[in-house]
Amino acid sequence: MEKGKLICTCMDVYESEITKSIKDNKLLTAEEVGDVTGAGTVCGECIEDIEELLRKSK
Ligand code: FES
């Protein structure tokens, strides 16, 4: 599977992983994405990108 863009450089989490976990777990917030994937839990710089993916997945 195509990994897509590297979203979270701190935790090494790619776009496809985030999109998949949003779908599979019906995640609604960046915080929930952090709980499941670890993305956004370190420096927080990728939170905006995660929120963008959440908006796109609606
Ligand atoms: S880039 Fe995602 S927490 Fe730092």
Over residues 4-57, the pLDDT tens digits come to: 999 999 999 999 999 999 999 999 999 999 999 999 999 999 999 999 999 999
28 lines ligand 1 (CB under 6 A): no
Q: From the CB of 48, is ligand 1 less than 6 Å away? A: no
Spell out a b/e string for 3-41, using b for 16 or more CB atoms within 10 Å of the CB, else e. Answer: eeeebbeebebbbebbbebbeeeebeebebbbeebebbb
Tell me the pLDDT band of 58, cut-offs 50, 70 and 90. confident
CA distance 47 to 33: 10
Q: Is the pTM of this model over 0.75?
A: yes
Q: What is the mean pLDDT of the chain?
A: 96
Give the rounded percent of residues in the chain with a pLDDT score beyond 70: 98
CA of 44, closest atom in ligand 1: 3
Domain at 6-56: CATH architecture: Orthogonal Bundle (1.10)
User: What is d(CA 20, CA 34) in angstroms, rounded to the nearest whole number?
Assistant: 13
Please identify, by atom number, the ligand 1 atom nearest to the C-alpha of residue 42.
3
The per-residue pLDDT for range 37-49, each reduced to its tens digit, is: 999 999 999 999 9
Q: Where are the domains of the chain?
A: 6-56
Q: Is the CB of 45 under 6 A from ligand 1?
A: yes
